[in-house]
Chains A and B, each alone.
Chain A
Amino acid sequence: MPNASRFERLPTRSLDPTTVYVEGQAIKIDRHDTAAAAVLAAGLVPSRSTPASGSQRAPYCLMGACFECLLVIDGVANQQGCMVRIQEGMQIHRQVGARDIHEPPQEVTP
């Protein structure tokens, strides 16, 4: 990933490495982490653009309040990344602008 992440993991617990894909790139993180944490660990900052002005945003509050961490997770748009626990093989993509509800949700790619 192009951005150097300031999201440093402290050695506070044992890791249970799990692979997820952030914009197609495999990254191993703890299975207790969230999709927003995966994005920060991968350095995908900014991770979305806003519907109204297109300005660039990234995970912020990490507790479900600010909605800045919206992501496309396994084909489902506008997910609050900080509220979604990662799973093996999860596909995480940027949320670009508003969600398009015309399109049916994409199939989960393993």
Chain B
Amino acid sequence: MTQPTMQGTRTADVCLIGGGLVGLAVALGLQRNGLRVAVLDEGDVALRASRGNFGLVWVQGKGDTLPKYADITRLSARLWPAFATQLQDTTGIDVQLQQRGGLYLCLTEQELEARDRMLAKMRDAADGDYPYETLDLQQVREKIPEIGDTVAGATWCPEDGHVNPLLLLRALTERFKALGGTIENAGRVQQIAPLSSGFKLHAPNGDWTCKRVVLAAGLGNRELAPQVGLAAPLSPNRGQVLVGERVRPFLEYPTGHVRQTGEGTVQVGDSKEDVGFDSGTTTEVMAKIAQRAIRLFPLLRDVKLVRAWGALRVMTPDGYPIYQASSQCPGAYLVTCHSGVTLAAFHEGPLADWIAGDRDDASMEVFHAERFTL
């Protein structure tokens, strides 16, 4: 735990609030642009979606009602290989990126038809440039021989993949520190005061001044954003994840609900629960998740569970990110989304360049929070 200490006011070009996957990816991109960045992380009491997520680098179906979101998702997927290579070259950490395609498995024909319709619509919106296939059970079996007999089919997207999110968090952290970045276990930032130029931040472990401030505090943005003239109407959505023992490779592709990690761990998840800020687990939901997994992959029947956890997604009302510069307090930015893994390469790249460049970008306006009030 962090201990309150009295220190003099410290300074950085950019103070970035939130040391998760979103914050650190943006921080790396700001460093690449020559900025001195301090990451103020709340500490071990934080909710930490970055330590509980499933690890998919996922494209299919994302942005079905917002083509620009589909665009940045696919852009990030394309940027990911170079991003992962750079992290490995500079930190020695292999984040286990695999982008060989992924499957969204459907248990009923109706579910499969609905997904096919959604993806067909997305392909039309992308003028035909949206690779996916709808597979029947026999076609799924060609990719995954162990698939269960009661599966109706799947949608397949060759751009889908997965990564080890904990290794990613560690690699981002090590890279950031190696480039001279400061990560401060600051406690919860209590106040952001706009100055005539820049900002003063008040946190339990000391004050900071900075020219710019980036809010990447997940659900914590709800209280921070209004202090710089922004809005972050976010709500928590719980997902529970089950982790099985390590077994020899049986699943070559990630699916929406089950994946196998590089070390052989079986990971199962994807509940969506509206339970407030409770990040716990429940037997009932874990049983449902396990039952679904066994229907998808009957050979998981005897696999032992070794861990389970709950984590809170950071959700906007429409599920899409908020990327916004404050017009009321120039130099303040809000960056929040629930796909911090998939979008990490985008955040390190174009999004950080946008913040570093400090210029208007009309194409980002679809991600402004005003869309929830208009």
Query: Chain A residues in contact with chain B, CB under 8 A?
Result: 51-52, 67, 78, 97-102, 105
Contact = CB atoms under 8 A, between A and B. Distances in A.
Given A78-B304, A99-B246, 10 more contacts: A51-B263, A52-B263, A52-B264, A98-B246, A99-B247, A100-B247, A101-B247, A101-B302, A101-B303, A102-B146
A99 B306 CA distance: 14
A51 B244 CA distance: 13
29 contacts: A51-B246, A51-B248, A51-B263, A51-B264, A52-B246, A52-B263, A52-B264, A67-B306, A78-B245, A78-B247, A78-B304, A97-B248, A98-B246, A98-B247, A98-B264, A99-B245, A99-B246, A100-B247, A100-B248, A101-B247, A101-B248, A101-B250, A101-B299, A101-B302, A102-B146, A102-B248, A102-B250, A102-B299, A105-B302
B297 to A, nearest CB: 9
Nearest to B304: A78
Contacts of A99: 245-248
A98 B261 CA distance: 13
Nearest to B245: A78
A99 B265 CA distance: 11
Contacts of B264: 51-52, 98
Interface string B305-333: 01000000000000000000000000000
B300 interface: yes
A78 B146 CA distance: 21
Contacts of A101: 247-248, 250, 299-300, 302-303
Interface string B221-247: 000000000000000000000000111
Given A51-B263, A52-B263, A98 B248 contact: yes
Q: Which of B246, B264, B306 is packed against the most chain A CB atoms within 10 Å?
A: B246
A91 B152 CA distance: 41
Interface string B187-218: 00000000000000000000000000000000
